[in-house]
C-alpha cells in the first residue's frame, strides 16, 4: 500500500514536472497576419526549446484590429497582442491598465518589428494608366478602399492619401481635404474590412484600383491573382507600423512573462526578419530589408508622427464622430 | 353546373393565370433557394475531391466541427431541459404575470444575436457583473467554450419551450391525475404519462434547436475570441478561411454545414409526418 501510494505520488509529481515543461501563449492579432505568424511560431518554438528545453505552443486569434483590442479589454487572455496600429494597443493601457502607457518604448523601433506601406493594386497592364496619387482622380477611375470607421487598414489608406496631399510642394490642409473629398466620390462600395475590400476588387471585379497594404497586395499578385494584377508604387506613401506588446496583467497572472517577451524579441532576430520579408512585410532591420532586394522598392515614406502628430491626434481629427471623414461623407 | 366545375378545379381564376402564378412561385424558389444551395456544393468541389477532403481533415476545421457538435449538443440539452420545465410551468400553472412570462420566452428570438452575445460579455467580461469574481478564481467563461455554449443555448432556448407550451396546455391534467391516483410516483408519471404525450413535440423542438445551434454565427462571434484550433465553430471557421482566400476550403466546410442543415430538415419532416400519423391512428 505504502509503495503504491509512493508510486502514485511520484507519478503525480512527474505529471506536474512535465506540465512545467509545456507553456502556452495566446497571440491576439489582426486579420492578415495569420500566414506570417504561422511561419514564425514553429521557428520560435524551436528557438525556445533549444534555449530552455521548454515546449511552447502558440495559439492565434485573428479579427479586425479594433475588435481584437476590445476583446482583450473584455477579458480575452492574450499574452501578446500584435495589432495593426499602436492606437489599439494604447486602448489596453488607457481603458484597463493592462500594460504601462509607455509600452511602445519597450521594444526597438517603437515596438514595430515589421513595417508596411499603402500601395495601389491595379489590373494587369494597368489599363487606366495609374502611376501616382493624382491619377486616382482621373475621370472614370473607380477606387476600392474599406470604411475607415470600422477598418484599421482603411485608416492607413485614408491617412496615406491625406498625408501625401499634405506633403506635396504646395500642400495644405485645405488641399488635402479637397483631395480626399474627390477620392471618396470615386469609391463605389465601402467594405467594413480590408479583406472584404480585397475580395470586392479581386473576386467580384469591382473598381480599377485597390488601396491596400503592400503585404496584402503581394499576397494577391503572388498568390490567387497571379498574372491578373500588378502593384503600382506611388511616389510617396505612409509608413505603416503595426505594433506588438506583451500584456503585463495577463502574463503576470499566467506566469508567462519571460516567454512572451522572448517571443516578441524573437521577431527582431535575423531568422524572423527573413520570414517577415517572405510574407510580404518590410523588415524593420535595414540589413534584412536590403537582403530582400527588389521585392520592396524604395519610396518616400512619412510616419503618422511626422504628418499627423501621432495616432491620437490623427484619430481625433479624422475618424472620431464629426471628424474629417464624417464631414466628407455627409457632404457627398 | 358551372359552379360545380369551378369547385372541382378548386379555384376560380382562369388557367393561364394559375399557371403563370405557379411558374413565378416555382422559379422564385429555384433562383432564391435551390440555385444558391446547389452552387455551394458546386463551389465546394470546384478544386477537386482532394482539396475538399483535405479541407475537412485540416486540424483547425476538424476542431471547429467538433466544437460545433459539442456546443450544439450542450445547447440542445440545456434548451431541452429548461424548455420542458418552462413549458410545464407556464402551460400547467397560473403564475403571477403569466402573459409576461410567455412573452419573455420569445425574447431570444426578438433580440439580435449580436446583442445577445454582447449581453453575455456585459455579464461575464472583465468589466461585467461577474467578471472580477471570475477573474479572481481563474474561471474563463467568455472567449472560451463555456461562453459559446451559453450564447448558443440562449439563442435556441425558445424552440423547445414554444413547441411544447401548446401541447402541455392541450394535454390537460386528467391523465396525470389518474396516474397519481392509481399510485404512480411523480417520476413514473413523468416518464410514462407526460413524456410520451409530448415526445414528438419535444423531438421537433430539439431538431429545430439543433439546426439553429449549428449555424449560429453572430452571437458566437462576439464571445468566441476567435482562437484558431480552440474556440472556432464551423460557421466562424468558414468565414475565416473565406477571408484567407481559401475559397475551396471555405465552400467545402460550407457544404458540410448545409448538408447538416438538410439532414435536420429531413428529420424534421419525418418527425412531423410520424406525429401526424400517430394522431390519425388514435
Query: pLDDT tens across A11-58, in order?
Result: 444 444 444 568 999 999 988 898 899 999 999 999 999 999 999 999
- For residue B73, what are the CA distances in angstroms to B159, B210, B216? 14, 7, 13
Query: Does one domain contain both A223 and A252?
Result: no
Query: Does one domain contain both B74 and B183?
Result: yes
> Residue B4: is its pLDDT beyond 80?
no
Give the whole-angstrom CA distance, residue B216 versus residue B210: 10
Q: Contacts of residue B225 in chain A, CB cutoff 8 Å?
A: 61, 71, 76
Query: Does one domain contain both B243 and B140?
Result: yes
pLDDT digits (tens, 9 = 90+) for A109-119: 999 999 999 99
Q: Check CB contact of B226 with chain A, cutoff 8 Å.
A: yes
Count the neighbouring beta carbons within 10 Å of the beta carbon of residue A274.
17
Q: What is the CATH number of the domain that holds A223?
A: 3.40.190.10
Enter the C-alpha cell of residue B65: 466541427
Q: Which domain holds residue A61?
A: 2-112+241-267
Q: Contacts of residue A61 in chain B, CB cutoff 8 Å?
A: 225-228
Query: Does one domain contain both B235 and B152?
Result: yes
Tell me what pLDDT residue B9 has. Answer: 55
Q: What is the number of structural domains in chain A?
A: 2
Q: Answer for the pair B64, B233: CB distance below 8 angstroms, yes or no.
A: yes
Query: Does one domain contain both B56 and B115?
Result: yes
Give the whole-angstrom CA distance, residue B89 versus residue A91: 47
DSSP label of B113: H
Per the CB < 8 Å rule, is B225 touching A31?
Answer: no
Q: Contacts of residue A60 in chain B, CB cutoff 8 Å?
A: 227-228
Residue A157 lies in a domain: yes
Query: Does one domain contain both B19 and B73?
Result: no
Tell me what pLDDT residue A7 has. Answer: 54
Please report where in the chains the cell 506633403 appears, as a residue. A167
Query: Does one domain contain both A90 and A121?
Result: no
Residue A134 lies in a domain: yes
Query: Does one domain contain both B19 and B111?
Result: no
Q: B115 by DSSP, 3-state: which?
A: helix
Q: Check CB contact of B117 with chain A, cutoff 8 Å.
A: no
Per the CB < 8 Å rule, is B243 touching A224?
Answer: no
The HSE-up count of residue A125 (CA atoms within 13 Å, CB side) is 2
Residue A92 lies in a domain: yes
Q: Answer for the pair A296, A230: CB distance below 8 angstroms, yes or no.
A: no
Q: Answer for the pair A177, A166: CB distance below 8 angstroms, yes or no.
A: no
Enter the C-alpha cell of residue A122: 491595379
Query: Does one domain contain both A147 and A98?
Result: no
Q: Answer for the pair B231, B223: CB distance below 8 angstroms, yes or no.
A: no
What residues have CB less than 8 Å from B122, skipping those under 6 apart? B128, B129
* Residue B275 pLDDT class (50, 70, 90 cuts): confident
Query: Does one domain contain both A152 and A177?
Result: yes
Query: Does one domain contain both B16 and B122?
Result: no
Enter the C-alpha cell of residue B205: 423542438
Query: Does one domain contain both A198 and A324?
Result: yes
> Residue B265: is its pLDDT beyond 80?
yes
Tell me what pLDDT residue B35 has. Answer: 92
Q: Answer for the pair A133, A299: CB distance below 8 angstroms, yes or no.
A: no
* Residue B60 pLDDT class (50, 70, 90 cuts): very high
Q: What is the CATH number of the domain that holds B217?
A: 1.10.3720.10
Query: Does one domain contain both B64 and B129?
Result: yes
Task: Tell me which of A74, A83, A195, A217 to substitute to probe the interface with B (most B C-beta atoms closer than 10 Å).
Answer: A74
Query: Does one domain contain both A230 and A209?
Result: yes
Tell me what pLDDT residue A6 has. Answer: 56
Q: Which of A251, A267, A283 is the last residue of a domain?
A: A267
Q: Contacts of residue A71 in chain B, CB cutoff 8 Å?
A: 143, 225-226
pTM: 0.81
> Residue B282: is its pLDDT beyond 80?
no
Most confident of A20-34, B143-157, B163-177: B143-157
Q: Which domain holds residue B19?
A: 1-44
- What percent of chain A lies above the pLDDT cut of 90? 64
Query: Does one domain contain both B187 and B64?
Result: yes
Tell me what pLDDT residue A63 has. Answer: 85
Give the whole-angstrom CA distance, residue B213 versus residue B145: 14
Q: Kindly give the parts of chain A with pLDDT less than 50.
A: 1, 9-19, 332
Tell me what pLDDT residue A3 has. Answer: 55
Query: Does one domain contain both A71 and A131?
Result: no
Of B53, B51, B133, the C-alpha closest to A75 is: B133
Query: Does one domain contain both A129 and A248?
Result: no
Tell me what pLDDT residue B135 has. Answer: 87
Distance from CA of B145 to the nearest CA of A (A): 12
Distance from CA of B223 to the nearest CA of A (A): 8
Per the CB < 8 Å rule, is B126 touching A223?
Answer: no
Per the CB < 8 Å rule, is A74 touching B244?
Answer: no
Query: Does one domain contain both A57 and A120?
Result: no
Give the whole-angstrom CA distance, residue A157 versus residue A187: 13
**Better-scored residue on pLDDT, B92 or A274:** A274
Tell me what pLDDT residue A16 has. Answer: 46
What residues have CB less than 8 Å from B53, skipping those under 6 apart? none
Q: What is the number of structural domains in chain B?
A: 2
Residue A70 lies in a domain: yes
Q: Check CB contact of B209 with chain A, cutoff 8 Å.
A: no
Of A113, A115, A110, A66, the C-alpha closest to A88 is: A66
> Residue B25: is its pLDDT beyond 80?
yes
Q: Check CB contact of B227 with chain A, cutoff 8 Å.
A: yes
Enter the C-alpha cell of residue A332: 457627398
Per the CB < 8 Å rule, is A60 touching B228?
Answer: yes
Query: Does one domain contain both A105 and A214?
Result: no
Q: A33 by DSSP, 3-state: which?
A: helix
Of B69, B58, B65, B32, the C-alpha closest to B254 is: B65
Count the neighbouring beta carbons within 10 Å of the beta carbon of residue A173.
12
Query: Does one domain contain both A214 and A263?
Result: no
Helices (H), A125-169: 152-167
Q: Contacts of residue B128 in chain A, CB cutoff 8 Å?
A: 74
Residue A281 lies in a domain: no
What residues have CB less than 8 Å from B221, skipping those under 6 apart? B114, B117, B236
Per the CB < 8 Å rule, is B225 touching A61?
Answer: yes
Give the whole-angstrom CA distance, residue B54 versus residue B58: 6
> Residue B97: is its pLDDT beyond 80?
yes
Query: Does one domain contain both B37 and B130?
Result: no
Query: Does one domain contain both B144 and B270?
Result: yes
Rounded average pLDDT over B140-148? 93
pLDDT digits (tens, 9 = 90+) for B215-248: 999 999 999 999 998 999 999 999 988 888 788 8
Q: Check CB contact of B230 with chain A, cutoff 8 Å.
A: yes
Please report where in the chains the cell 440542445 appears, as a residue. B76
Rounded average pLDDT over B171-187? 86
What residues have CB less than 8 Å from B165, skipping those under 6 apart? B86, B87, B90, B91, B102, B105
Query: Does one domain contain both A41 and A29?
Result: yes
Rounded average pLDDT over B211-215? 93
Using CA of residue B180, residue B184, residue B188, residue B193, what is the dihedral sign? negative
Give the whole-angstrom CA distance, residue B239 versus residue A78: 22
Query: Does one domain contain both B36 and B53?
Result: no
Q: Contacts of residue A38 in chain B, CB cutoff 8 Å?
A: none
Q: Contacts of residue A37 in chain B, CB cutoff 8 Å?
A: none
Q: Check CB contact of B139 with chain A, cutoff 8 Å.
A: no
Amino acid at each position: 500500500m505504502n509503495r503504491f501510494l509512493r508510486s502514485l505520488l511520484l507519478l503525480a509529481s512527474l505529471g506536474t514536472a512535465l506540465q512545467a515543461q509545456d507553456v502556452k501563449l495566446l497571440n491576439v492579432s489582426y486579420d492578415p497576419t495569420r500566414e506570417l505568424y504561422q511561419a514564425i511560431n514553429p521557428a520560435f518554438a524551436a528557438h525556445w526549446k533549444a534555449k530552455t528545453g521548454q515546449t511552447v505552443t502558440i495559439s492565434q486569434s485573428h479579427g479586425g484590429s479594433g475588435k481584437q483590442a476590445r476583446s482583450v479589454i473584455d477579458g480575452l487572455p492574450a499574452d501578446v497582442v500584435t495589432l495593426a496600429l499602436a492606437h489599439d494597443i494604447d486602448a489596453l493601457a488607457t481603458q484597463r491598465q493592462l500594460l504601462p502607457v509607455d509600452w511602445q518604448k519597450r521594444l526597438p523601433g517603437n515596438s514595430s518589428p515589421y513595417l508596411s506601406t499603402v500601395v495601389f493594386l491595379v489590373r494587369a497592364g494597368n489599363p487606366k494608366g495609374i502611376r501616382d496619387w493624382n491619377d486616382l482622380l482621373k475621370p472614370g477611375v473607380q477606387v476600392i478602399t474599406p470604411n475607415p470607421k470600422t477598418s484599421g487598414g482603411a485608416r492607413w489608406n485614408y491617412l496615406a492619401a491625406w498625408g501625401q496631399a499634405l506633403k506635396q510642394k504646395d500642400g495644405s490642409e485645405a488641399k488635402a481635404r479637397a483631395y480626399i473629398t474627390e477620392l471618396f466620390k470615386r469609391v463605389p462600395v465601402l467594405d467594413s474590412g480590408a479583406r472584404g475590400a480585397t475580395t470586392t476588387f479581386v473576386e467580384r471585379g469591382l473598381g480599377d484600383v485597390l488601396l491596400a497594404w503592400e503585404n496584402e497586395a503581394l499576397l494577391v499578385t503572388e498568390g490567387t491573382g497571379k498574372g491578373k494584377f500588378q502593384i503600382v508604387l506611388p511616389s510617396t506613401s505612409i509608413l505603416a507600423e503595426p505594433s506588438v506588446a506583451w500584456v503585463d496583467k495577463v502574463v503576470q497572472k499566467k506566469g508567462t512573462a519571460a516567454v512572451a517577451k522572448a517571443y516578441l524579441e524573437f521577431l527582431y532576430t535575423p531568422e524572423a526578419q527573413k520570414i517577415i520579408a517572405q510574407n510580404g512585410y518590410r523588415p524593420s532591420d535595414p540589413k534584412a530589408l536590403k537582403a530582400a532586394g527588389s521585392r520592396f522598392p524604395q519610396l518616400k515614406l512619412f510616419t503618422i508622427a511626422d504628418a499627423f502628430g501621432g495616432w491620437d491626434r490623427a484619430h481625433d481629427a479624422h475618424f472620431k464622430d464629426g471628424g474629417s471623414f464624417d464631414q466628407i461623407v455627409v457632404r457627398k | 353546373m358551372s359552379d360545380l366545375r369551378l369547385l372541382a378545379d378548386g379555384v376560380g381564376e382562369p388557367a393561364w393565370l394559375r399557371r403563370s402564378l405557379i411558374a413565378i412561385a416555382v422559379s422564385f424558389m429555384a433562383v432564391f433557394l435551390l440555385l444558391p444551395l446547389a452552387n455551394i456544393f458546386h463551389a465546394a468541389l470546384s478544386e477537386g475531391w482532394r482539396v475538399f477532403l483535405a479541407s475537412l481533415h485540416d486540424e483547425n476545421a476538424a476542431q471547429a466541427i467538433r466544437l460545433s457538435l459539442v456546443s450544439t449538443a450542450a445547447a440542445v440539452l440545456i434548451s431541452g431541459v429548461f424548455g420542458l420545465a418552462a413549458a410545464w410551468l407556464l402551460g400547467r400553472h397560473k403564475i403571477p404575470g403569466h402573459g409576461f412570462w410567455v412573452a419573455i420566452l420569445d425574447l431570444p428570438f426578438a433580440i439580435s444575436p449580436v446583442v445577445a452575445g454582447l449581453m453575455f460579455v456585459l455579464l461575464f467580461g472583465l468589466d461585467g457583473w461577474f467578471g472580477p469574481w471570475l477573474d479572481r478564481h481563474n474561471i474563463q467563461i467568455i472567449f472560451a467554450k463555456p461562453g459559446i455554449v451559453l450564447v448558443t443555448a440562449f439563442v435556441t432556448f425558445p424552440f423547445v419551450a414554444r413547441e411544447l407550451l401548446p401541447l402541455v396546455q392541450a394535454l390537460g391534467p386528467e391523465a396525470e391525475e389518474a396516474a397519481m391516483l392509481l399510485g404512480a410516483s411523480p417520476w413514473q408519471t413523468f416518464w410514462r404519462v407526460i413524456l410520451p404525450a409530448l415526445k414528438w413535440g419535444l423531438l421537433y423542438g430539439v431538431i429545430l434547436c439543433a439546426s439553429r445551434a449549428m449555424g449560429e454565427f453572430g452571437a458566437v462571434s462576439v464571445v468566441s475570441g476567435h482562437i484558431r484550433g480552440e474556440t472556432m465553430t464551423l460557421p466562424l471557421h468558414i468565414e475565416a478561411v473565406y477571408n484567407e482566400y481559401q475559397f475551396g476550403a471555405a465552400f467545402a466546410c460550407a457544404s458540410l454545414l448545409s448538408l447538416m442543415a438538410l439532414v435536420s430538415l429531413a428529420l424534421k419532416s419525418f418527425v412531423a409526418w410520424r406525429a401526424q400519423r400517430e394522431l390519425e391512428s388514435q
